[in-house]
Structure 1
Amino acid sequence: MSDLLSLGTIALLGFACQWLAWRTRVPGILFLLICGILLGPVSGALNPDALFGDLLFPFVSLSVAIILFEGSLTLKLTELTEIGPTVRNMVSYGALVNMLVSTVATHYLIGLSWPIAALFGAIMVVTGPTVIMPMLRSVKPNAKVSKALRWEGIVIDPLGALLAVLVFEWIVAQQTSAHIGHVFLVFGQTIALGLIVGVFVGQLFGVLLRHELIPEYLHNYSAIAFVVGAFAVSNSLLHESGLLTVTIMGIWLTNMKDVHIRDILNFKETLTVILVSSLFIVLAARVDFTNLLQLGWGAIAVLLVMQFVARPLKVFLSTIGSTFTLNERIVLAWIGPRGIVAAAVSVVFALRLESLGVDSAELLVPLAFTIIIGTVVIQSATARPLARLLDVGETGNQGFLVIGANPLGVAIAKALESAEIKTVVCDTKWERIRKARMAGLDTYHGNPISDHADLHLELAGLEGMLGLSPFKSDNLAAGLRFREDFGIRNVFALSSRADAKSNSRHRASAFYKGQVLFDEDIHYEQLARLLHKGATIKKTQLSEAYGFDQWLDENPAEESVLLFAIDAEGKLHWRTAGNDLKAQQGWSVYALRLNQTRSVESA
């Protein structure tokens, strides 16, 4: 395979694996690893060492640096006090317990030296959002478990990588010096350099952004330039200090006041997907089956210890005194897949240690890949049935975030809840939120696009957004914000009278506002007027004797507005502009109606 064809194949397969992961809701890492192994050791079609040559190590190192920087941008210091004692325990002493058990198991079951076993234990501390989020979307645990796992994945990535970097620097210092005093000196210098360069570059970049000294269209480019520059300078001054530098840089930058980095973070997330996809295929293609065979059954034994001993011990110690039930603790203890940071960091460290002649360093990568594949496969296949068995999963159909606790928003939310579809109603007005709570609805009091909402608005169990505010700007802003979480197909908003009157140059693009609920000529004012006249949302069950056509005949548009329907399999179907809802036999139809022409059930 030519070099150009190899690069094209990596890009196309990377996309295909991510798309397949999206369709199946299985972490993409699994498909990427399979592709890499098939291309590399199985078929021999891809040889990363020959393809990249001397650039392989810089490519992997820079990719890891960018991934760690992106992860550290999500680590706000205030979150460490707000995410709850359980998560703080899991990412602090819980992580150390996990590392200790993994280290002991690796040393005795495989026979690796204590330093290499300790490095492996530190690397295996991380889980990461790239594997946790797809699994949460598939498993759908309850909000408490989902929130704990999500925050653990976000926080543990940079902290776990930082722990691994420190252990690695300790090993390197021991290998490059015969005197224990010099070992401590090099170790201290690495930490000091990482802190100094990371804080300096982070502060410099933050000041430039705060004072708008970098034009907006160069923000993403400048972020990459500063990260790569800081990593290269730090590594040039002292080997392997760059990963610590970029981690500190990201933490410092994201915690600076009046520095807005959402656009940079969004870009970095996209770039991380590209790097993760290509990096995993390349790294998996380098796996040596000889080393895998050398590990033998010891690798499987380490995997079992990490799954059945290290993770459960970490979780049960971290949840002492918490409100988590036994069943919730079991699910927390079962879900902890390893991801891209574990794979990439292990490769970087293994290459460096092999160059220093460290014994058994070549076993670090195949062992890490064994754990990654094992945890992803085992947990992807069993976590959802386990959550259902223990009654820890979310019940009901897909949920929706409702923008606007006005009478219309509350009425539609109650109708959805009656159909066992979860809702969370948001509003900035306390009086409206109070009424929604009195109606038995879950609520969030505040602006859904605020920094506070990023931390406290729980989206677990929600897969879409409904813009039901009477203010077009609120619906549009929320749609722009939550299309990142739900996708543009699952963002719905009411049409406005302004859109109907405006020509194309003044009308908001469908790309930004999402799908139009009900119809272009159905606005909030019209629906609110019907509610004021006493209309309610009614449910009608269609049957062979009473079909949808007859329902339409008996419910004229002046007295009834069709909202949505639930099919025989429990799937929700919205009526949207340009997509008329055609309900069938066995479906339940929900409409806002002024009068009741048939005997129906009120929602």
Structure 2
Amino acid sequence: MNESALFAIAAIGLLGVACQWVAWRVKLPAILFLLLAGILLGPVTGWLDPDSLFGDLLFPLVSLAVAVILFEGSLTLRLDEIRGLERVVRNLVSFGLVISGTVTALAAHWLVGLDWQLAALFGAMMTVTGPTVIIPMLRTVRPNAAVAKALRWEGIVIDPLGALLAVVIYEFIISSQGTGAVGHLLATFALILLIGGGLGMLAGHLLGLLLRHYLIPEYLHNVATLSTVFAVFAAADHLAPESGLLAVTVMGMWLANMKRIPVEAILDFKESLSVFFISGLFIILAARLDLGQMLRIGWGALGVLAVLQLVSRPLKVWLSTLGSPLTGRERVLLAWIGPRGIIAAAVSALFALRLTELGYADANRLVPLTFLVIIGTVVLQSLTARPFARFLGIAEPEPRGLLLVGANPVARMVGRALQKRGFQVILADSYWEHVKAARMDGLSTYYGNPVSEHADRHLDLIGIGRLLGLSPQGDLNVLAAQYYRRELGQQSVYTLPTSSDSEQRRHKHTVAAEFRGRPLFGADVSYRKLQSLLSQGAEIRTTTLTDSFGLEDWRKQHGARALPLFAITPKGALRIFTADSETRPGSDWTLLALTLPDKGGEQEAAAPP
């Protein structure tokens, strides 16, 4: 029994990673593949039964996982990010939430036949979108900054508020048979707000003070924060049932907006945990589905889905964005994207179980109806949101561009060559003469330190997917690689060493490889070497390879006179030569190489290392 449980848990983890990888390869949200995997493992094949696998621990584990996901999302909510959109976000999570819930409740009553109480509970559960579905979808859809920020803030903040509304309605249902139902309702609402909000602010502030004054060693930051999240969630839920989600969300937001708090490493750790938990949760909850119940709901369920997508969400967004700085196209896309996620699935499963035990016969219809809406919104919006954003002209371009650290002669040479081939480049440098020369060459520049707070606010990275550290200051290259690694990805950050001294000196005086980024152009290539080649008249030349003239033929023809830098595939993708790359250009590829002039057979001057 224990061995089979261990195998099932390990299989869920591996399958979650596989679904995430497939989604990354085909550029579709991972939720599609996670739901499909859960349905195949559970109701279709019967291989996975989460209730028997986890027993009474299922919902506590789901709750703790959701708490981590919400905390990680709220840790990214900095108030200065939504200047100009504050009113939009406030409207979406306040009266917009009520509008959405009311319209959905009416549809559930009239189209599916739920009684008014259960319809109101269903409407409340369907108000939440959540980071579990919004954030992965944003990575794929890539809308412009205004829409992305509004969706992210709405999804994270509305999760605990929607859950709170559902709890209040649930409490009203179970207390409506007696007297004082309204008083009980108001007391429950006030208690959840007081405990959840108060405990979240207190815990966030205390943890922030401990981090600010270095009272927790760095190696304990992640573990201490995770343990605090669990403790705050459990304490809040104990004092006021269902207030834990609000507490961890407030805690994360409070911590994110405190000054001088080192949250970057914590955020990296929590982001990895969130991906892991999201993958497992969707598989587990989808495996609990009863396909027979979903089929028995009837066509009315599709009508509810249509109302959610075409009436409820657009009406909420339209009223919430009146008078806002959002354009008409941005409002249309905002109205189209609103998938439902983990919170709706978990809350519906929990309340359905409790209400069925209390004798509400129709309560068992809440789960299949909820999952039908989750699957419907996720599938529809995953497949259409990116093309729709492109059609509206508010999708960010594919990140083909490059940020070059440095505007020195070497960086300008590389920038001109890439820009000539159609790639967006931005050169960042603190030396004005270099920046001025780059601008004279028609190159986009940023005058300042690329790792400064000013750059964080003003350096526009839309369309930028890679970083090349081309500064003669090796420490700046390394610092930039670390700074942009989280946003661009470790595989997209490259640096150029300033020297290529002996192996012994390199080990003694060079930053460790894991912090430098990928080595540009080759292990023995340094800034000094490129600068020397440039002073000898070298320039970047392009060669189109063919079946009869391949890479080896090119190497034989040019020998040591040419250093390959980049290759462009027939589809226009850029490949960068590195010491650890396996780039093998083939026919119809374009090769960009730094080439010394042919001196008619004279011996070339050797470039210093």
> Is the 1:119–1:164 contact (alpha carbons within 8 Å) kept by the matching residues of 2?
no
> Is the 1:110–1:298 contact (alpha carbons within 8 Å) kept by the matching residues of 2?
yes
Match of 2:43 in 1: 41
Post-superposition CA distance 1:174-224 (Å, at most 9, x none): 234631223212211221111221112222222222222222222111112
Distance 2:273 2:446 in 1: 32
Q: How does 1:492-507 map to 2 (within 5 A)?
A: 492-497=494-499, 502-507=505-510
Asked if residue 518 in structure 1 is aligned to residue 531 in structure 2, the reply is: no
Determine which of 385, 402, 413 is the counterpart of 1:400.
Answer: 402
> Is the 2:221–2:266 contact (alpha carbons within 8 Å) kept by the matching residues of 1?
yes
> Is the 2:146–2:326 contact (alpha carbons within 8 Å) kept by the matching residues of 1?
no
Change (3 A) 1:347 1:431: farther
Match of 2:293 in 1: 291
In the TM superposition, residue 67 of structure 1 has moved relative to its aligned partner by 1.4
Post-superposition CA distance 1:332-386 (Å, at most 9, x none): 5444433334434444554555566667443333233222222232233334444
Asked if residue 485 in structure 1 is aligned to residue 487 in structure 2, the reply is: yes
Distance 1:289 1:314 in 2: 31
In the TM superposition, residue 104 of structure 1 has moved relative to its aligned partner by 3.7
Asked if residue 168 in structure 1 is aligned to residue 166 in structure 2, the reply is: yes
Distance 1:453 1:318 in 2: 32
Determine which of 63, 72, 75 is the counterpart of 2:74.
Answer: 72
In the TM superposition, residue 411 of structure 1 has moved relative to its aligned partner by 3.4
> Is the 1:25–1:134 contact (alpha carbons within 8 Å) kept by the matching residues of 2?
no
What CA RMSD, in Å, does the superposition of the two structures yield over aligned residues? 3.5
Distance 1:83 1:432 in 2: 37
Post-superposition CA distance 1:398-455 (Å, at most 9, x none): 3323222334334323332332223344345566556555655455555444556556
Q: How does 1:291-440 map to 2 (within 5 A)?
A: 291-315=293-317, 330-351=332-353, 360-389=362-391, 398-428=400-430, 436=438, 439-440=441-442
Distance 1:485 1:12 in 2: 25
In the TM superposition, residue 283 of structure 1 has moved relative to its aligned partner by 0.9
Choose 11-20 or 357-366, whichever is displaced more.
357-366
Aligned residues: 593
Instruction: Flag structure 2 segments of 5+ consecutive residues without an equivalent.
Output: 600-609
> Is the 1:424–1:443 contact (alpha carbons within 8 Å) kept by the matching residues of 2?
yes
Choose 195-204 or 334-343, whichever is displaced more.
334-343
In the TM superposition, residue 497 of structure 1 has moved relative to its aligned partner by 0.7
Asked if residue 57 in structure 1 is aligned to residue 53 in structure 2, the reply is: no
In the TM superposition, residue 56 of structure 1 has moved relative to its aligned partner by 1.6
> Is the 2:27–2:140 contact (alpha carbons within 8 Å) kept by the matching residues of 1?
yes
Distance 1:132 1:447 in 2: 33
Choose 584-593 or 327-336, whichever is displaced more.
327-336
Change (3 A) 1:193 1:565: same
Match of 2:478 in 1: 476
Distance 1:85 1:426 in 2: 35
Match of 1:16 in 2: 18
Q: How does 1:558-569 map to 2 (within 5 A)?
A: 558=561, 560-569=562-571
> Is the 1:397–1:422 contact (alpha carbons within 8 Å) kept by the matching residues of 2?
no
> Is the 1:202–1:250 contact (alpha carbons within 8 Å) kept by the matching residues of 2?
yes
> Is the 1:398–1:421 contact (alpha carbons within 8 Å) kept by the matching residues of 2?
yes
Match of 2:214 in 1: 212
> Is the 1:147–1:458 contact (alpha carbons within 8 Å) kept by the matching residues of 2?
no
Change (3 A) 1:12 1:549: closer
Distance 1:492 1:131 in 2: 31
Distance 2:265 2:188 in 1: 37
> Is the 1:132–1:149 contact (alpha carbons within 8 Å) kept by the matching residues of 2?
no
Distance 1:3 1:548 in 2: 53
Distance 2:291 2:400 in 1: 43
Distance 1:453 1:249 in 2: 28
Change (3 A) 1:365 1:518: same
The amino acid that maps onto 2:250 is: I
> Is the 1:127–1:153 contact (alpha carbons within 8 Å) kept by the matching residues of 2?
no
Match of 1:539 in 2: 542
Q: TM-score, normalised by structure 2?
A: 0.85
| Identity across matched positions, percent | 48
> Is the 1:303–1:371 contact (alpha carbons within 8 Å) kept by the matching residues of 2?
yes
> Is the 2:500–2:524 contact (alpha carbons within 8 Å) kept by the matching residues of 1?
no
Match of 2:589 in 1: 587
Distance 2:64 2:29 in 1: 23
Choose 572-581 or 448-457, whichever is displaced more.
448-457
- Any idea what SS the aligned residue of 1:233 has? helix
Distance 2:472 2:325 in 1: 39
Distance 1:569 1:459 in 2: 23
Asked if residue 274 in structure 1 is aligned to residue 272 in structure 2, the reply is: no
Q: TM-score, normalised by structure 1?
A: 0.86
Distance 1:56 1:331 in 2: 36
The amino acid that maps onto 1:160 is: I
Distance 2:433 2:336 in 1: 42
Change (3 A) 1:585 1:59: closer
Match of 1:4 in 2: 6
Choose 371-380 or 155-164, whichever is displaced more.
371-380
The amino acid that maps onto 1:155 is: W
> Is the 1:535–1:592 contact (alpha carbons within 8 Å) kept by the matching residues of 2?
yes
- Any idea what SS the aligned residue of 1:296 has? coil
In the TM superposition, residue 133 of structure 1 has moved relative to its aligned partner by 5.0
Choose 50-59 or 380-389, whichever is displaced more.
380-389
Distance 1:500 1:349 in 2: 67
Instruction: Flag structure 1 segments of 5+ consecutive residues without an equivalent.
Output: 598-603
Q: How does 1:194-209 map to 2 (within 5 A)?
A: 194-209=196-211
Distance 1:575 1:405 in 2: 21
The amino acid that maps onto 1:252 is: W
The amino acid that maps onto 1:266 is: D
